[in-house]
Structure 1
């Protein structure tokens, strides 16, 4: 993954913090939102300790009034975003006080979304998975400080000392030293979970326990160690530890279970013709980080448990102290850019921030560029949580819905137009990858060498083999397990070709340079691939055989 790609995908934590740092205004309760300044209370609210004192009180009726506005908020965001479907649930003091669906499960089909429609959660899975691990920590199966190597024989990172020291908590806090989104392109090529965990040893490390870098497969390594400690596969562990005790009957960490649900939301991407259900993302390889599927009603049960300090309907599910570690700040994820800005933090699988009212807020967003946008937000001091699930690629709808509701809970009025704030933040996700993206081919390209100069097998320790072979009058590049991913090589100029990219890590219009490097024999000794430049060889594949 290119540095630009990794940076723009860091929105899952950074965008929420950036938008929350913006100033505010307020609006009326009927019709389009009209924004006027909010006068915040300056009278501190009595609390158990000084660190639990809040600048703004929340009158009891204010939360009920916020819930009463949800239909209006949802209708407004559905209209402005044009997304196909959305489900919203709110909990208060351990009870679900709102659960409703809007729109349709699939464009062109009549079935409506309701509160039991199952959505892919994307990165909300990280917070759910953290509570699974907290369940094991509470039972003393392992601790957040357990080294991953203790339960993953053969596991290695590129630094032997870090290999022995890195813990389950380090991976869940994204502070292992791995680069952001490492492994995502391996997943797009078709490699499985164990393949990717094995290949982490080839990735350079930077900033162990000092730098935050959001990684799906780093967190997956921590979760896999926890599952091995419990003697179960991750999906079964999640069922037994969390889903079954909470009665989350529609929730699973297996993609096959999601596909078997009758009441299931299809993922959608935006096209010139509007939203279309063109792809189906299979996230099993990174299940602990992005592979959970659930309904809004089921997520309400999970939020109730978190807000009730690990209990559900009076029954303990997760030990409170183990859960508190997960929901406490473990590393700075969004450093302030000036002295007036609040910093953002990450716990173990949770964003941990401070709202403008001075209250702790737990949150996370999730996204599949192939068609899912999700978010939750919880205010523990108010006992309130909201989750919004959508079946469309992220445009800020889920985050805007939650932020507007939080405003109404905390201030009794909207502090800004949240959809207008979030939508531009999401646009960077859709910038095509590649230095040649959007450029016309050279008008007078340099002629290539003969096909036999390029055909052959090229090896890379991280990505595996890349096979170049003839196909008709052109060349094709095959990568991934057994060459499962096939790319047509288009000549650009001289020994430079390009491939068109597709998948979760590359938006439409993305292309990658493919630069062959001929040796003294005139045959290419190696090839450098721009898009695959996150390992120690910087995307260089070395020829190992003349013929495929």
Structure 2
């Protein structure tokens, strides 16, 4: 592995961070094939135990050491309650594990001289805008893959949830106020990274999806991997997404992430991702042949933005380009996790000095099983024993992600005032509303309540139930059906609503829509 520091203006800072943190926690003993081989039966037993305890319905694991795939196996079931089992060729939606895969594809473009990590988005994709002109003019592929553009983390996710396509979402990011100054703050942005990838592909004249196949999937023989959801659903051997319903895993919701394909839309198998890990561990060399420039690959792993400490292990964590860069109890590691709250969990971890990597794919959320198994395997290899219950520790992290928010929302709207203030007539609220970011919304009477339609051509419908006065409640999350959100109206002296605030679209204070005059 070679680290390239001169290519970024944070180079001196990053080098100091590495020198301060790198080898102190690493094992002094070399990681031999024998040590890895000794850990594999124990990893398999841990995975079997997770399935037996119902930790996830199914999972698949690949381990690579020194350019060899030394472990490849599936566990459990593709769908809860059905007999089909997971194997090494079961296709999973890998969620945000797509990010380092996509960074590798951009590294291939960089190595071929098609773009640079420091190519300006204004040159590659002149139509793209941020809220402010200076960041728009200076923004680079590197900025977007390092999540330092200033875009808030959720920017665009809300539009995707109500049915907008990629082009519309990327266009409307210009209306989102920044959450930090340009290049000064880290904010994990799906659609920021998506724009970086799409812009990097533009000089080829091809779609991102075609570039991904041409530059990575096909050369590595990743025959079951795609950045298109349509390809995922064509596979008979695919894993369903699961969420917890009444204490049991259920395939409740489907997820079509094409809008953010570079950031979260890749589907793949343990077998295919093992080949990708061989390329990463080989610093761009695959099957003994240089496939991607080592310089372009190395830049992905320069620690550019601090992420604080790992919430379970306590290791210092940074973000490079589509990769987490961590200095933990076993030394330097690169990695990334992925999650859909609709039912996916994934992780990849690479120890570059030891040429060791593991990928764990699971088909349920919330679950800390992927990180737990990855951390347990690292303990087994480096120390010969598992230090603690890593699966349990990571389960606590993921189960706590939405619990407090759901509880707070439930508490806020648990009981209306007694007596509640009456609503106006349905005609007071009915009509068309809009803003530049959300687009048009329509409110109409529906039985004893109202109906809200948002998204392109009213693609999403939400029943509104009266709560108090001019405030109504809806339940917008299919995967969290008991989480309420308010839709409030501003009624003027004429007895008609002049505006409405949609709480579940207001993360970035863009959820207020003005009435369109009749």
Q: TM-score, normalised by structure 1?
A: 0.86
Q: Any idea what the Cα deviations from partners look like across 1:296-344, whole Å, max 9, x if unmatched?
A: 000000001000001111122211110100122111122699xx96421
C-alpha distance in 1, partners of 2:54/2:141?
A: 38
CA contact (8 A) 1:116 1:296 kept: yes
Change beyond 3 A, Cα 1:51–1:86: closer
Structure 2 residue 481 is matched with structure 1 residue 508: yes
CA contact (8 A) 1:526 1:543 kept: yes
Deviation at 1:52, TM superposition (A): 5.8
Structure 2 residue 288 is matched with structure 1 residue 348: no
C-alpha distance in 2, partners of 1:471/1:411?
A: 63
Deviation at 1:413, TM superposition (A): 1.4
CA contact (8 A) 1:127 1:350 kept: yes
Q: Where do 5+ consecutive residues of structure 1 fail to align?
A: 1-49
C-alpha distance in 1, partners of 2:116/2:137?
A: 15
**Corresponding residue for residue 4 of structure 2:** none
CA contact (8 A) 1:434 1:531 kept: no
**Corresponding residue for residue 243 of structure 1:** 217
Structure 2 residue 144 is matched with structure 1 residue 171: yes
Structure 2 residue 351 is matched with structure 1 residue 375: no
Q: Secondary structure at the match of 2:434?
A: strand
1:213-362 → structure 2 map (5 Å cutoff): 213-272=187-246, 274-334=248-308, 342-357=315-330, 359-362=331-334
Structure 2 residue 358 is matched with structure 1 residue 386: yes
Q: TM-score, normalised by structure 2?
A: 0.91
Change beyond 3 A, Cα 1:153–1:472: same
RMSD over aligned Cα atoms: 2.0
Q: Where do 5+ consecutive residues of structure 2 fail to align?
A: 1-20
Match of 1:542 among 506, 514, 517: 514
Instruction: Report the more deviating stretch, 177-186 or 495-504.
Output: 495-504
Deviation at 1:59, TM superposition (A): 4.8
Match of 1:199 among 172, 181, 194: 172
Q: Any idea what the Cα deviations from partners look like across 1:389-446, whole Å, max 9, x if unmatched?
A: 0111131011101010011111111111101211111122232559642412334211
Deviation at 1:110, TM superposition (A): 1.1
Instruction: Report the more deviating stretch, 300-309 or 261-270.
Output: 261-270
C-alpha distance in 2, partners of 1:170/1:424?
A: 32
Question: How many residue pairs align between the two structures?
Answer: 492
**Corresponding residue for residue 67 of structure 1:** 40
Q: Secondary structure at the match of 2:501?
A: strand
Q: Secondary structure at the match of 1:235?
A: helix
Q: Secondary structure at the match of 1:299?
A: helix
CA contact (8 A) 2:55 2:369 kept: no
Change beyond 3 A, Cα 1:409–1:335: closer
Deviation at 1:69, TM superposition (A): 1.4
**Corresponding residue for residue 422 of structure 1:** 394
Structure 2 residue 464 is matched with structure 1 residue 492: no
Structure 2 residue 113 is matched with structure 1 residue 112: no
Change beyond 3 A, Cα 1:393–1:59: closer
CA contact (8 A) 2:432 2:515 kept: yes
Deviation at 1:56, TM superposition (A): 3.2
C-alpha distance in 2, partners of 1:55/1:281?
A: 41
**Corresponding residue for residue 448 of structure 1:** 423
Q: Secondary structure at the match of 2:70?
A: strand
C-alpha distance in 2, partners of 1:178/1:223?
A: 16
Q: Any idea what the Cα deviations from partners look like across 1:439-496, whole Å, max 9, x if unmatched?
A: 1233421111111111111111111111111123321010000011001111001111
Match of 1:154 among 96, 121, 127: 127
Structure 2 residue 71 is matched with structure 1 residue 98: yes
Q: Any idea what the Cα deviations from partners look like across 1:108-129, whole Å, max 9, x if unmatched?
A: 2211100011100000000100
C-alpha distance in 1, partners of 2:51/2:223?
A: 28
Match of 1:406 among 378, 388, 404: 378
